[in-house]
Structure 1
Amino acid sequence: MQILLNGINAGLDYAFVAIWDWGAAGIGAGTAIAEWAALGFGLILVRGGLGTHAGLFDRAKLTALFNANRDIMIRTLALLLTFAWFVNSGARQGTAALAGNQVLLQFIAVSAFVLDAFAFVAEKEAGAAYGARDGVRLKRAMRVTSEIALVCGAGFSLVFWIAGGAVIEGFIADPAAREAALAYLPWCAAVPVIGVAAWQLDGLFLGTTQGPAVRNAALLATSAYLVSDMLLAPAFANAGVWAAFLLSYVYRAGALAIYWPRLMQRMGTNAAPG
């Protein structure tokens, strides 16, 4: 399906733009046609199995699915608000701080992409263990993936601390922005280590389909972060902006950890670490 989608998209984009000179409208049309073609092909592939799986359209199960997606969407919006607020708060400290913060955010993005892999493994293993009501397996999976993630997070922090300055020197031409990024690099370097608990617990509760817990924790953590930034940023300028941002990861981990005993209780397992 992906090959079909990309092939049609590329072919139509070339025809509409390079041959018929439709410009941006041609790119949009090519993409839309390719998406619908892929959808049609996908329906053809699954048509034989739809009739034998009436449970797919079970109202209660569909409601549960939509509720889970609603909770995840709210959680995602809360996290997006955190990052948007961080950028906006940095902008209030001046253009140099804003530019420096944006570069440092790219460091965090790179580490998050890698460390999210361990959260995905935790999510998968937690889901399997939850389905089997195997608390021992769940705790073992969380312990192993979290230990590896913590080591990798510490590695990222060390690399940022040692080599981050050279990267900043090479990528930022403006002296003021470069100075701002270098000044707050230590704050950025702390994120991979501090964020591990939040990312791992996120994977745990997503994998066990604990939508309300994920939603409520995200809302609580974001609210606490906003209050922290409102208090710290005016008092400590960009250092306060970063302090509040680091606290947001602590809030996320703490808010999710509140639901750990309840999850273990549902599985009939002691909440103590395995």
Structure 2
Amino acid sequence: MKARTIWALALPAMLTNVATALFGLADLWVIGRLGDAAAQGGVELGARFMTSLLVVFNFLRTGTTALSAQQAGRGGAGGQAATLAPILAHAALLAAAIAALLLAAYPLIVPLGLGWLGAKGDLSLLAGAYIARRYGAVPAALINGALTGWLVGQRQVRGVLAAEVGANLVHIALDLTLVLGLHWGVGGVASASLISEWLKFAFLLMLALRQGAWQGLRQHHALLSDLTPFRRLLALNRDLFLRTLLLTGVMLEFTRTGAKAGAVTLAANGILFQMFMLSALILDGFETAAQVLCGEAAGQGDAPAFRAAARANLRWGLGLGLVITLVYAVAGAQIAASFTLNHAVQAEAIRIAPWAAALPVLGVASYVMDGVFVGAGWARAMLGTMAAAFAAFNAALWLAAPLGNIGLWLSFYLLLVARAGGQLLCLPGLVRRHLSG
């Protein structure tokens, strides 16, 4: 597997993901200029709630990427618009249906979610205000997942990058204007996210239309009468949904444990978690490359190409993960401290930063293997390995409770290692059963 092929997919995906990470980092940095731990903690709780709610439905992106790449691998490129447009249509319809349900359930799930996260007093009020403003972006965010997956599955990663960068530049400009200029506080941060998400939807929709989505639908008259592809999408997405639900449970438990320790610990963990997410989103470029390359190989039934793509992405991912870990080990504490003017939050972030520094190199194998499994459509195996890792995390969290916040981060270590270990153990048998060669 040529490095150029991998990096042609991974690098634009990395840049796209970094642009996505700027959502959280810009929000934290701007609200941190206010020097108010409660406001920063409220944004962290509200953002974590929204992220957790939406990431549960990340299968709309990953499942659509896998099906599009597999179809391209079978030779769909010859009639790309006609063969691939129905995949987008089915995913977009599913996204719209889920969005309608979430909008209807808003009065129920927001109080339940904030209560489970342990939000009280000012933290609860500020987080609730943030969610109320940003919730209007839910339909755009879900359909954006389907649009992004469809485009990435056809190797249109540069177009997705352009849309993401454009939307995030607007987001940062709105953050600065609404929070620091107009003094809207938490509401300004949420408004910036709302507007930029809908702008990204407009960008991605234009890209999909240029890629032939509408012409393909006009050529495909059996979109609703032939539900076989839709059932395949639902079957793949069901297992991805349950797997992501477990991962989201870990993220919520992580936030909940920090919230129990107070606003200072919650805010400090939020900063370090955003740094972790930045590294994860960079390294996820290799997950995207693995999804596309392994998906194409699986569509062709080419086991040697599949193995080569998996190995090459793992090698490159581990190398870059080590580099990021070294950067965080040297400068992580200073970077974390720069995100707030509150001295107590700074002190806690500096204390925990060395423990968070190892996460990039420990986690990268799990990201790459997710791409391998998604590309092949092995969502059931992903669900099983995630269930085992989920159990390991919760057991470690209970055992490490006397260590306080450090125990929380060590438990997160175990989650990442267990995810990757389980998938690597399952991989040889799955290749033998499902691929030829």
Q: What is the CA deviation profile of residues 75-106 of structure 1, one whole-angstrom value per residue up to 9, with x for unaligned ones?
A: 22211111111111122233322221110011
Cα distance in 1 for partners of 2:294, 2:217 equals 31
The answer on 1:258 being equivalent to 2:428 is no
Cα distance in 2 for partners of 1:268, 1:113 equals 29
The aligned residue for residue 83 of structure 2 is: none
Identify if the C-alpha distance between structure 1 residues 65 and 230 changes in structure 2 by more than 3 Å, giving closer, same or farther: same
1:1-274 to structure 2, matched below 5 A, reads: 45-51=215-221, 54=222, 58-232=226-400, 234-267=401-434
8 A contact 2:246–2:387 mirrored in 1: yes
SS of the aligned residue for 2:312 comes to helix
Q: Which has the higher contact order (CA 8 A, sep 6+)?
A: 2
Cα distance in 1 for partners of 2:390, 2:404 equals 20
Identify if the C-alpha distance between structure 1 residues 187 and 55 changes in structure 2 by more than 3 Å, giving closer, same or farther: same
Cα distance in 2 for partners of 1:269, 1:50 equals 31
Unaligned runs of 5+ in 1: 7-23
SS of the aligned residue for 1:259 comes to helix
Identity of aligned residues (%): 29
Letter matched to residue 260 of structure 1: L
- TM-score in terms of structure 2 length: 0.50
CA RMSD of aligned residues (A): 3.1
Unaligned runs of 5+ in 2: 1-146, 148-159, 161-165, 167-190
Identify if the C-alpha distance between structure 1 residues 181 and 131 changes in structure 2 by more than 3 Å, giving closer, same or farther: same
Identify if the C-alpha distance between structure 1 residues 267 and 124 changes in structure 2 by more than 3 Å, giving closer, same or farther: same
Cα distance in 1 for partners of 2:361, 2:241 equals 26
Cα distance in 1 for partners of 2:420, 2:214 equals 43
Q: What is the CA deviation profile of residues 189-213 of structure 1, one whole-angstrom value per residue up to 9, with x for unaligned ones?
A: 1110000111011111000001111
8 A contact 1:134–1:267 mirrored in 2: no
- Post-superposition shift, 1:63? 1.9
Letter matched to residue 369 of structure 2: L
Bigger CA radius of gyration: 1
SS of the aligned residue for 2:396 comes to helix
Identify if the C-alpha distance between structure 1 residues 249 and 149 changes in structure 2 by more than 3 Å, giving closer, same or farther: same
Cα distance in 1 for partners of 2:286, 2:214 equals 35
Identify if the C-alpha distance between structure 1 residues 55 and 103 changes in structure 2 by more than 3 Å, giving closer, same or farther: closer
Aligned residues: 241
Cα distance in 2 for partners of 1:263, 1:128 equals 16
Identify if the C-alpha distance between structure 1 residues 47 and 140 changes in structure 2 by more than 3 Å, giving closer, same or farther: closer
Letter matched to residue 113 of structure 1: L
- TM-score in terms of structure 1 length: 0.78
Cα distance in 1 for partners of 2:223, 2:432 equals 29
